[in-house]
Amino acid sequence: MRFPSFLTLALSLTLCLSLPSIVCAQINPSCPTELDGDGTVGMTDLLIVLADFGTVCEPDPPPPSSWPVLHFSELHYNPATAQGSDADFEFLELHNPHAYSVDLSGWSLSEGLVFTFPDGASIEPGEYLVVAANAVTYSGLGYPVFDWGSGGLHNSGELLAIRAPDGTVVESVVYSDTGDWDTAPDGQGPSLERLFLDGDPHDAGQWTASISTGGSPGAVNSVWVD
Ligand SMILES: [Ca+2]
Ligand SMILES: [Ca+2]
Ligand SMILES: [Ca+2]
């Protein structure tokens, strides 16, 4: 990340916050601002911009991605103490909604977690795939599991992104444990499950607590609506 560009973007967003919208538009005519659905422009919006557009906000939006979209379908960012440690039980789940297999060679997770899928990895049609803090915890249960290595999912929320091999962000999310976000997944037992595949994953209304403790790793969500 080039720090001066980050500062420039942060300044633009700050000006958009403090100036009338017409002035904001003149400063940065196509810079996305309110992105996480909370009605105000803040740090999470900035993080989304950085994930989706890099360190600068280009005047033209990026061309539509030719990569198949995969979805974040479940996040278990703060397992309950009764379940075990975050280092052993945290996971995130990806879903392939397509009728075809997606070759994950060179695909990666970025921002809050840094992980690149190994050559030959794939996600089958309609499949749920788990990437975990400790793959051993979720291995041998009938679904693909990968270990993200070091680091973990912040208990207060953070930005996560799925990137295609050329770096294109195919989906990102900034989850949270405040505001409109369900707080039960924050250490009380449930995971944070996606309700819908259509719509903005940054919207708290897209997510809710799983019915079961520990969620539904590698399987259809307990609260799935789609
Ligand atoms: Ca955690
Ligand atoms: Ca915990
Ligand atoms: Ca699930």
Domain limits, the chain: 3-53, 71-213
Each of the 226 residues of the chain gets a pLDDT tens digit; together they read: 333 344 455 545 554 445 444 334 333 444 556 777 777 777 777 777 666 655 555 555 555 678 999 999 999 999 999 999 999 999 999 999 999 999 999 999 999 999 999 999 999 999 999 999 999 999 999 999 999 999 999 999 999 999 999 999 999 999 999 999 999 999 999 999 999 988 899 999 999 999 999 999 999 999 877 6
Quick one: which ligand is closest to 216's CA?
A: 3
Please tell me the distance from the alpha carbon of residue 187 to that of residue 78, in angstroms, as a whole number. Answer: 5
Please tell me the distance from the alpha carbon of residue 192 to that of residue 211, in angstroms, as a whole number. Answer: 10
User: Which CATH number is 71-213's, of 3.30.1330.20, 3.40.640.10, 2.60.120.10, 2.60.40.1260?
Assistant: 2.60.40.1260
CA of 87 to the centre of ligand 1 (A): 8
Closest CA to 211 of 185, 173, 176, 175: 185
| Residue 204 CA neighbour count, 13 Å, CB half | 14
Q: Note whether 218 and 145 are within 8 A (CB).
A: yes
pTM of the model: 0.74
Predicted local confidence at residue 181, as pLDDT: 98
Q: Note whether 183 and 207 are within 8 A (CB).
A: no
pLDDT digits (tens, 9 = 90+) for 71-113: 999 999 999 999 999 999 999 999 999 999 999 999 999 999 9
Helix H or strand E encompassing 92: strand 91-95
Predicted local confidence at residue 62, as pLDDT: 54
Residue 199's identity, in one-letter code, is G
CA of 73 to the centre of ligand 3 (A): 6
CA of 92 to the centre of ligand 3 (A): 9
Query: Cβ of 20: how many Cβ atoms within 10 Å?
Result: 9
